[in-house]
Amino acid sequence: MYIERMSTSERLIESTRELLWERGYVGTSPKAILEHAGAGQGSMYHHFKGKPDLALAAIRRTAEELRATAERVLAGPGTPYERIEAYLRRERDVLRGCPVGRLTMDPDVIASDELRAPVDETIAWIRHRIAEIVEEGKRQGQFAPSLDGEEIGAAVLATVQGGYVLARASGSPAAFDAGVRGLLSLLAPSTPGQRR
Amino acid sequence: MYIERMSTSERLIESTRELLWERGYVGTSPKAILEHAGAGQGSMYHHFKGKPDLALAAIRRTAEELRATAERVLAGPGTPYERIEAYLRRERDVLRGCPVGRLTMDPDVIASDELRAPVDETIAWIRHRIAEIVEEGKRQGQFAPSLDGEEIGAAVLATVQGGYVLARASGSPAAFDAGVRGLLSLLAPSTPGQRR
DNA sequence: GTCTATATCCCGATAGAC
DNA sequence: GTCTATCGGGATATAGAC
């Protein structure tokens, strides 16, 4: 990622993003960030008000990047089912978990409306985006009219977020893949183009 | 919970269980445990080798309790679908999250095979238990023969674990409930007793 | 068994030199 | 803008009195 070529401020944000992903907010100290970024104390407090301020910048960027990645897949080609399948099957660093979702288990993030906001917005956005695609599939007759877009959206996103939990518990991505296959087997149109 | 009536060792374990649930391993200090338990430093290091040893006792107990709670619901009355529904709909402290699943986001827990083991075993056990029930439903013709028990088990458990993530992100249990309803609408036999 | 005292290091932040 | 020095407090553990 050529982190050594970035400005100090950029290096601080990128280092924070990586450490937040790996160790969460509570487990990430300013000292660890500074060492990773190759900067001194003064730099950090010159560019940011403190740990929460730097974390906010990092979380916002990670959230925006995740949203863009999801949209690239969800707005891709194919039927509604195929686009949801593409989202579920997209390449992921499964054992690292979701850089946004993992923050919901961080007590200090959840306690701060400011830190939680980008997490909430990103997750709500992806869920709603899936819901729209489900509704599109219903109109096309690919999904049963009885399905609720928002509910299926929640189930799809939860399967992903929970899949990370299963995978990390077992130390293997296999459980994530199994959950995805299970959900897809339930969602799959029984005949292509038909209601189920 | 009458924590004040327990032995010192019991109070330490129970206090650790509560703090691990609330703040995770990294976010829980021996000092906080001692204050919560009303004990001094010496007591803790007399009964346990240190923080990891005390956490292990706490995690083992929480894991065993969760497994027992799940089994009570999964072994209950009703058809396979109804028992899975009962598991998904059972009363939960949704915004607190899963006391076992949340540990998978803790870097120090995942880094230790000893601390991770009870987490892994509990999650694998519940997943397999659901898989058995799905297979039973297949034999009874309630579920389609094309479904894979282990995959559906993974999807069901992932929906629960991911539901906590969605709920905590939004600060409301509604998203958890939506995911559960979404999954159930996909799993539901279209006619009672029929294959779908 | 439980307590207090102490040790060593890390945490998050500030001050002020350069 | 970046550095080092320093601060008050907390993390984790040990020592030793009672």
Tell me the pLDDT band of A193, cut-offs 50, 70 and 90: very low
B30 strand D contact, CB < 7 Å:
yes
Quick one: tokens of A72?
A: 């690239």
**CA pair distance B174, B111, nearest whole angstrom:** 33
- Asked if residue B196 belongs to a domain, the reply is no
Kindly tell me if the per-residue pLDDT of B193 is higher than 50: no
**CA pair distance A50, B128, nearest whole angstrom:** 46
A29 strand C contact, CB < 7 Å:
yes
- Asked if residue A8 belongs to a domain, the reply is yes
Q: What is the pLDDT of residue B86?
A: 98
Distances (CA, A) of B23 to A106, A150, A169: 7, 30, 18
Render pLDDT for A115-168 as a digit per residue (tens, 0 to 9). 999 999 999 999 999 999 999 999 999 999 999 999 999 999 999 999 999 999
**CA pair distance A64, A66, nearest whole angstrom:** 5
Of the listed ranges A2-16, A163-177, B20-34, the least confidently predicted one is A2-16
- Asked if residue B127 belongs to a domain, the reply is yes
Tell me the pLDDT band of A5, cut-offs 50, 70 and 90: confident
Q: What is the pLDDT of residue B194?
A: 41
- Asked if residue A194 belongs to a domain, the reply is no
Average pLDDT along chain B: 95
Tell me the pLDDT band of B85, cut-offs 50, 70 and 90: very high
What is the mean predicted confidence (pLDDT) over B151-173? 99
Share of chain B above pLDDT 90, in %: 93
Nucleotides of D under 7 A from a protein CB: 1-6, 10-17
Question: CB A166 to CB B161 under 8 A?
Answer: yes
Q: Which residue has the higher pLDDT, A178 or B193?
A: A178
- Asked if residue B193 belongs to a domain, the reply is no
- Asked if residue A195 belongs to a domain, the reply is no
**CA pair distance A178, A93, nearest whole angstrom:** 16
Type of residue found at A14? E
CB B118 within 8 A of CB A156: no
Judged by a CB distance cut-off of 8 A, whether residue A36 touches chain B is no
Q: What is the pLDDT of residue A196?
A: 42
Q: What is the pLDDT of residue B5?
A: 76
Q: What is the pLDDT of residue B89?
A: 98
Question: CB B170 to CB A124 under 8 A?
Answer: yes
What is the mean predicted confidence (pLDDT) over A165-193? 92
Question: CB B162 to CB A161 under 8 A?
Answer: yes
CB A163 within 8 A of CB A176: yes
Kindly tell me if the per-residue pLDDT of B74 is higher than 80: yes
Q: What is the pLDDT of residue A3?
A: 72
- Asked if residue A25 belongs to a domain, the reply is yes
Quick one: tokens of B103?
A: 């540990």
Kindly tell me if the per-residue pLDDT of B88 is higher than 80: yes
Residues 6+ apart with CB under 8 A from B195: B141, B142, B143, B144, B145, B189
Which CATH number is A175's domain given?
1.10.357.10
Q: What is the domain count for chain A?
A: 1
Tell me the pLDDT band of A191, cut-offs 50, 70 and 90: low
- Asked if residue A192 belongs to a domain, the reply is no
Q: Which residue has the higher pLDDT, B3 or A176?
A: A176
Measured in angstroms, what separates residue A58's CA from nucleotide C14's C1'? 23
Question: CB B151 to CB A181 under 8 A?
Answer: yes
Kindly tell me if the per-residue pLDDT of B191 is higher than 60: no
Q: What is the pLDDT of residue B155?
A: 99
Kindly tell me if the per-residue pLDDT of A1 is higher than 70: no
The DSSP secondary-structure symbol of A143 reads S
What is the mean predicted confidence (pLDDT) over A56-65? 98
**CA pair distance A74, A55, nearest whole angstrom:** 28
Kindly tell me if the per-residue pLDDT of A173 is higher than 50: yes
**CA pair distance B181, B169, nearest whole angstrom:** 19
Parent domain of B143: 3-187
Q: Tell me which chain B residues have a C-beta less than 8 angstroms from the C-beta of A160.
A: 158, 162
